Structure 1
Amino acid sequence: MKKYDYDELMELTKEYRETFDSLYKLHTQNEGDIDIIYQLVENNLIKTEYLTPSEVLRKISFISICNNRYIKSYWILFKKIFEKYHPREVSGIEIIFNYFAYKEYGIILDKSQKEDINFKQYSLNFHEEDQILRSIVNDDIKSLIPLIENDPTYYFPFDLLPDREYFYSPDSITMLSIIELCCYYGAVDCFKFLRTKFNTQITKHCLYYSFLSGNLDIMHLCLKEQKPDYKCMKYAIISRNIDFVSFLMNEYNININLEYCVEYNNLHAFFVHLDIYKKLYKCFVYSPRFGIPSLCEYFITRGVDVKARAKKGIAALHSAALNKNKRTAEFLISHGADIFAKDKKLRTPFYYAACNNNKDTAELLIYPHCNEMDKYQEKPIDIAIQKNYSEIVNLLISHGIRSPKKVRKLKTAV
């Protein structure tokens, strides 16, 4: 197997990396700056066909969760892309952006959220609409003190704002304390005041969000009270701060999770993992998730078997099947990838595509016996019906596949 070149990989993926860095590190409300980021996204992600417009919109909606101080900027960027490409569906979009798209364009981009949207009352001005939140965002101790002096243990009720999705915290918690909010927004003066005046407890979420906001003073104080775990690595990867990633590896022996790297499009951390552990085959199996065929090609030219397997028996084509964009799957098949490969749960690449509502990739991977049961006796058509993936259901029906056990649900889905 030939040796890889770290610098060569960084150069190969430079435009992709820099574009996602600009999204995750967005710190502007200037429309001119936002337009520059839009041009990067369009030229380096959409026109290159690394991601579909729908997938880009889903990513932007998620990134706004991690950096909601600038949610208005993300919404402007979202609108520019939506108005250029007019996608009919964005599966997995954060409900806040689904809500705004419905209010502005009259379209529900993820119909699984339809009932929830009817009960929501979201606002782009939520930072200004709660006095405590406004004080924390601005790290303004003077305005915060009279608001909390009688109740320093006040919890911010995101279910009333109206809920956790409204706040856009990357975690599944429903309420955050004031000190946790300080960590999320990097409000170091408010944080120190709470510790000095009230001896407010530092929680795990304080530590997690300190890696997300990147405030070193807050992080240092949190580390005195809480020991880092794998979730800290998650937030370090989201933050795009490779020094945080290295710190967790070197000081606390926390490994870089490749799943986080691909989910949050962090190629820099991905290559650091490769550089440390030298597992080309493992990185190759995950690499299709980035949607860059030339990256897959790089590994193959270094001698990695296109049929190589990683944990749980997953092959590179399984990973490619998770993408909305089918180009990487086409590339792998052209180089000998096995469309019949099954992981340890007996799931084929088609199973992955169908159960993730990736119609174009599913069409590429479909074959006569594609509706086989997995280890848990579930078939792709059953899952597609359960999740109301009507396009997948119709695709399977067009190939003569039915689900006798769920005829009624099938008719509803179609």
Structure 2
Amino acid sequence: MNGSAEATRTRPLQISPGDLEAAHLDELIMEIEQRSLYYYQEKNKSLRARYTYGTIFLIINLCAWFIRDYAQKALALLPYVSSCGPEGSRCFHTLGVLRVSLGCFIFYFVMFLSTWNTMKLHEAQNSWHSDNWIFKFFLLVIVMVASFFIPQLYIQIYGEIARVGAGIFLGLQLVSVIEFITWWNNYWMPQNQSKQSCSFGLVMSIVFYIGSVCGIAVMYYFYGASTACGLNIFFISWTVILLIVMMVISLHSKVKNRGLLSSGIMASYIVFLCWSAIRSEPSHTKCNAHTQNSHTDWTTILSFLIAIGAIVMATFSTGIDSESFRFRKDEAKEEDDIPYSYGFFHLVFSLGAMYFAMLFISWNLSHSTEKWSIDVGWTSTWVKIVNEWFAAAIYLWKLIAPIVRQHRVHEQPQPTAAEVHR
């Protein structure tokens, strides 16, 4: 009995090569599954982080509004800060908005510098972007408080720089909107147009063009009814010319797969920009049918809140649309790639901080705006009008650029037979 047990203990364990391969394969499959689960969780965490950053941006917008309109009565400690000047005059109204904007800009720019080269989910920058919220909260509080200790001269210099940054933000936003319109057109009216998709595209084109025409008629009625409103009539009439030019070019036979849908959406967009520009005219303008009231009513409050929401949504949608600004859009995504560009996301939010500052102060660094108003004044009007014209120019260039490139290729001299032989 003991002899048999001893023989069993000394007998070598017999493992076939097939068993080793099966065990190794099981371990490999388990490792792959665990890695895929890790990447899935990291991607979801990163996608949720976008909304946290957007919420932070919204709260900072509301703080800027509070500092501009009500903080001088509510906050009594700020006058004791030397950089705020007598009675805190340099920390409220226009300068107060710029200080809040500067703090917001610094926070998102620090996030940009620390995440701009992030490529993979397992990198440390990915964890910094999606986690460490307590530390980032303290960082935000520190930069926001520190912005109120900066001398007035540097705040005014930042205001001048913010004008440029806000203009860059508007340019990025236009490219993002036009890329979305192009994608929508290609989705509903692809090259192999089915009858159903073509019918839907035609119906939507008609809806957008009818909306654009109605918008033009309403603007003529409310803002250009008198010959004294020459500037408004010019704005609206030039918008009509842009609509016609876009429609004609989009129907040209050499323009590939553009059609009426994209031009119809773009027409509605530039009509909205024209209307928004005219609405930004000062309240004392006789041709502004909807003048800003001196008292605050529910429509004024609702319009103000919608405007703040539009700022946040424009910043958020542009920030997550890094694909529109890539030179090579056919690169294959790998499993461990980040779902969106963190650096571009934070860069757009830092520029958005400059943009909301300009809207709150109506692009004017020397005068305070009225309470519950946003983006009102002649500077705001001209910024929006130029933005409208720039948007139409970018869209028209996207339509004719392939034709121009093709024409240049055909014009290049072809090599002779002797040159080819050499």
Normalised-by-shorter TM-score class = under 0.3
TM-score (norm 1): 0.24
Give the number of the structure with larger relative contact order, counting CA–CA contacts within 8 Å between residues 6 or more apart: 2
Greater Cα radius of gyration, structure 1 or 2:
2
More helix by share: 2
